[in-house]
Structure 1
Amino acid sequence: MADSIAARKGPVSRFLDSDLWFSFSHSPLTIVSAIVALALIGAAVLAPVIAPHDPFNLATLNLMDAFNPPAWVEGGNPDFLLGTDDQGRDMLSTIMYGARISLFVGFCSVIFAMVLGVTLGLVAGFVGGTTDAVLMRIADIKLTFPAILVALLVDGLVRAALPRELHDRIALWVVIFAIGISNWVQYARTVRGSTLVEKNKEYVMAARVIGLSSTRIMTSHVLPNVMGPVLVIATLNLGFAILAEATLSFLGVGVPPTQPSLGTLIRIGNDFLFSGEWWITVFPGITLALMVLSVNLLGDWLRDALNPRLR
């Protein structure tokens, strides 16, 4: 009877009755983190609609509006709530558009690293032998280099190999590739370990008996059973990817100035920090800190909620 009632429930009802929702709804810190993350993501995605100004429309910029302090500070302009930067751009609008770039780079680099790492880990664990040994030795070598150093190396090689004009056009994708290629090892090692366990279970042996190919077994049977830890790693790595992009942009090797991210805004504001224009770097810095902190807290919660030992 209970099973039939549960079967008639919709996906929303089943989710609201799940342990995951119970854990989320009984964690005030997680709820606050989710609200902050959704607010920042929503503001970034809807920036073209809700931003008070278009900071990249040169026709609307006026250098006479440069270095306006926040509206509540003496001398502030009510039209610019968080003040303006050295080019007269509204800081609130610029932060919204900059967050779009940071989030886009973060999500794309995490997806790239996850696809690459999961694929290599699945192949290494399922095939084994020489393939496993070679892939894991490559992963071990990668772990000896810090992720930021790898990203800087990749960006430097691309800059040396491509003409400046071409690099500027694809700079955003270069940053995504550089961050993604430096973070695939975690996914590969985690998936490999789970695959080594799964491939010896009865359902895999049964699939082999009925004649399914190795590719079909890996993608249709093993992969769904090893994705749980991957989602947790992806959530935690999103915060790192956003921070890595900000670091690269702060160092001047990230996205181009024509597409400023939060890291670029912090770097620009840092030049004026000691001359009194503190808002140019403080507000983008606060936004970046809130974004990374909220994502990391959600990742920590998801890791604990999906861990059966903590239930």
Structure 2
Amino acid sequence: MFKSFSHFLQSDLVYNFTRSRVAVGSAVVALLIIAASMLAPVLSPQNPFDLMSLDIMESNLPPAWESGGDPKFLLGTDDQGRDMLSATLYGLRISLIIGVLSVALSLLVGVTLGLVSGYLGGIVDTLIMRVADVQLSFPAILIALIVDGAFRILLDKEMHDRAAIYVIILAIAASGWVQYARTVRSCVLSEKGKEYVEAARIIGLGPVLIMVRHILPNVMGPVFVVATLHIAMAIIIEATLSFLGLGLPPTTPSLGTLIRTGNEYLFSGDWWITIFPGAALMIFSLSVNLFGDWLRDAMNPKLL
């Protein structure tokens, strides 16, 4: 284990990473944001879920450095008296959880279908790829809207609000599996004719073992790149759905719900309610995308 880790530290990937200021900077910013969101209960001055700690008389206070601000609320408060710093940290945590779980689900579905499609070929490949082509003709946000709308029809409002996080995860996953399937399929088509796969067939291994044990490890590099970029996109889709009122309920402070709430007060001068959650979303998405772009270039031998 330690030997493998030592080899990893001496790899070209780590060497290129340490030589790229953009990669290092974006990775540090993303990790700091992730750490702050996961430690929200420790770092936050207030628990925005605790109604007993909220005071309506402290609502719509500006940031501490502005006239009328309270040093107790560094980034001000929203219309319910919630500390914006605390609400943003908790919102980041919820948005990250939704983004990571939705990406994990779409990765699982897409990689499985891509392996099956590329390895078996024939009618199975044609069927899966035609479904993927049809879905690609629709924007990802539209697919997520359709899935969320279907659950709103099937479930009553109270049940939908309780299951809102799971519905959003499923909706985002349903809109993102295609890129994994197509990426894995193209890699499998180039791998399945190689000697190590032929050797596995000769010794009697079944298709499932060949796909999982031999082909899958050799196609995961591009998948990691897609997943990295997809996390930022998943968080933006969640924020978009919540901003449109079709995502999480107002009582759940994700970045999207915070931005939507602040948008109602933006033109009355209470800019901080929407600006700070929006800035957090923008900075995290930008850092993840910059790191993903570097990772894509670093793992593509043709660009080195």
TM-score normalised to the size of structure 1? Answer: 0.96
Match of 1:163 in 2: 156
Alignment of 1:1-311 (within 5 A): 10-311=3-304
Aligned to 2:205, what secondary structure does the other structure show?
coil
Structure 1 runs of 4+ aligned residues shifted over 2 Å read 8-16
Q: C-alpha separation between the residues in 1 aligned to 2:215 and 2:6?
A: 28
Q: Distance in 1 between matches of 2:8 and 2:114?
A: 30
User: Distance between the aligned counterparts of 1:253 and 1:196, measured in 2?
Assistant: 39
Could you give the per-residue CA deviations for residues 162-197 of structure 1, whole angstroms, max 9, x where no partner exists? 122211111101001101111111111111111111
The letter of the residue matching 2:219 is: V
Deviation at 1:75, TM superposition (A): 1.2
Amino acid at match of 2:14: W
In 1, distance between residues paired with 2:201 and 2:17?
Answer: 40
The answer on whether the counterparts of 2:184 and 2:223 sit within 8 Å (CA) in structure 1 is yes
Q: Any stretches of 5+ residues in structure 1 without a counterpart?
A: 1-7
Distance in 1, matches of 2:138 and 2:25, equals 35
Alpha-carbon deviation of 1:310? 2.0
2:66 aligned partner, one-letter code: V
Asked whether the equivalents of residues 117 and 125 of structure 2 are also in contact (C-alpha less than 8 Å), the reply is: yes
Other-structure match for 1:3 = none
Q: Secondary structure at the match of 1:84?
A: coil
Q: Which amino acid aligns with 1:232?
A: V
Shift of 1:296: 0.3
Provide, for residues 65-109 of structure 1, a one-character-per-residue CA deviation record: whole Å limited to 9, x for no partner.
111110111111010000000111000000000001110111011
Deviations, residues 233-271 of structure 1 (Å, cap 9, x unaligned): 000111110111000000001112221210110000000
Give the partner amino acid of 1:191.
V
* Residue identity opposite 1:168 in structure 2: D
Question: Following the alignment from structure 2 to structure 1, what is the Cα–Cα distance between the partners of residues 28 and 210?
Answer: 40
Q: Cα RMSD (Å) of the superposition?
A: 1.1
User: Percent same amino acid at aligned positions?
Assistant: 60
Mapped partners of 1:29, 1:210: distance in 2: 47
Contact 2:61 2:69 in 1 (8 A): yes
Q: Is the 8 A contact 2:22 2:291 kept in 1?
A: no
- In structure 2, the partner of 1:5 is none
TM-score by length of 2: 0.98
Kindly provide the amino acid, as one letter, of the partner of residue 289 in structure 1. Answer: M
Q: Give the distance between the partners of 2:2 and 2:265, measured in 1 at CA.
A: 58
Distance 2:5 2:215 in 1: 27
